[in-house]
Amino acid sequence: MLVPKIAATTVLEPELQRAIDLLPVTLYADPAQAVSAISSASRAGAWACVSPDADVQDLLNSGLSVAVFDSADTVSVDCDKLRIAICYSTSASNGIDKTIDQALADGVGRAGAVIIQLTPEQLSEATQKSSSDGLSPLARLTAAAEKTLLGTSGPVRVLVDLLAPEGAVGNWTLDLISLAADAGADVIVAAEALAPAKDDSAKRVPLAEAFVAGSGLKSDRSDGLFTTVVVDEQRVCLGVVYSSVESIAAALATGEGVYWSRRRGLWHKGLTSGATQTLVGISVDCDSDALCYRVQQNGAGFCHHSTRSCFGPAAGISQLAQVVAERKSSAPEGSYTARLFSDAQLLRAKLLEEAAELAEATEPADVAFEAADLLYFALTKCAAHGVTLADIERSLDNKHRKV
């Protein structure tokens, strides 16, 4: 996975910042900058470098996903180790093997992620395969981390942060990114070393190509296309399509659902039908052989049959939220939902009534029935104030991240 790192003084072009916000994780050198990004963009994957004297508990409660400590720091935070990353650096007295041994013995056991800082030369050394077991030092670390599971949150992660000479933007090239990814590591790249487009006079690394290389994304198809699962904001599958490096670049640049049609080439979803997609996030699966686009679906739906999903109509809470939102603008006159939207006191009374009935219910069937009623009125209240199901889920996610 590609992890852009934003320094405290970094100011990015708006189009690059928007594209970076679509990636799963961003690392901030300044914790205050991370908290600001969380509050302004509801970023779920904000990491930040912190000092031992920082109020880490408060930062994590503010929505910071992961606090990054130096290996020399004493970490005493009462939280799941998933929320902690430890950074190890090499030196003349602390070579590659010793640094990786330290990360193996120390970091993998007490943190959810370990970061190894390397120069380009050290990365080349760290990825040299041993004649004894066929593994490089970095691959041995990632293999051990892969076996260390963090409950239902997956394995410990290993990231490589390539050190740049003083005054330089960065040392990353696509070859070096691929070298780290092939050893099983994620890559941290200075955001200012990335370019929003391929044609860049500053010779920066194109973001889409860096994303593909850093994710270790591979295709087993003869045409080189990547299988792409498209889901809505509730992660309900809308359909399965294909992507190319070119279409990924276009999706990141426009912030919309852009794919690769095997018949038509570059395919900007909805330009003809009006059923466009606002891209919320892009990620890669655990085997690095498929993409997931998380989108806000506009118009009639994703399918050419005008259903929301290629697998049929929406159901459950997603369907209820969709219908209630539609009723706000198109409810038949005299309908019950229209009455609720026009009479705030009636809606308030029904919320209180259904909450009380749910509180009194004891039989499983009754609890489910009353909860369904309360959800209907709650979603109607939310729709009346312009609050979507995705807004509710973001609030739940933020509450979940409190230590």
pLDDT, tens digit, for every residue of 91-126?
766 788 899 999 999 889 889 999 999 988 899 999
Location of structure tokens 């790192």: 5
Single-letter amino acid, residue 187: V
pLDDT at residue 259 is higher than 80:
yes
The pLDDT of residue 41 = 58
Residue 342, Cβ density class (10 Å: 0-12 exposed, 13-18 middle, ≥19 buried): exposed
| Number of other residues whose CB lies within 10 A of the CB of residue 371 | 15
pLDDT at residue 83 is higher than 80:
yes
Q: Which two tokens stand for residue 387?
A: 């609050």
- For residues 1 and 186, the answer to whether their CB atoms sit within 8 Å is yes
Which range (145-149, 179-183, 227-231, 397-401) has the least confidence? 397-401
Provide the whole-model pTM: 0.88
pLDDT digits (tens, 9 = 90+) for 363-395: 999 999 999 999 999 999 999 999 999 899 888
Would you place residue 166 in the very low, low, confident or very high pLDDT band (cuts 50, 70, 90)?
A: low
CA dihedral for 67, 71, 76, 78, sign (positive or negative): positive
Would you place residue 202 in the very low, low, confident or very high pLDDT band (cuts 50, 70, 90)?
A: low
Least Cα distance to 232 among 342, 147, 322, 170 occurs for 322
Least Cα distance to 302 among 249, 383, 243, 236 occurs for 236
The pLDDT of residue 365 = 96
User: Which residues make beta-bridge pairs with 185?
Assistant: none
3-state DSSP assignment of residue 223: coil
Q: How far, CA to CA in Å, does 298 sit from each of 221, 242, 257, 295, 384?
A: 30, 20, 11, 9, 19
Residues of 61-88 as b/e, b for ≥16 C-beta within 10 angstroms?
Answer: ebbbbbbbbbbeeebebebebbbbbbbb
Largest CA distance in the chain: 79
pLDDT digits (tens, 9 = 90+) for 346-364: 999 999 999 999 999 999 9
Quote the percentage of the chain above a pLDDT of 90.
Answer: 59
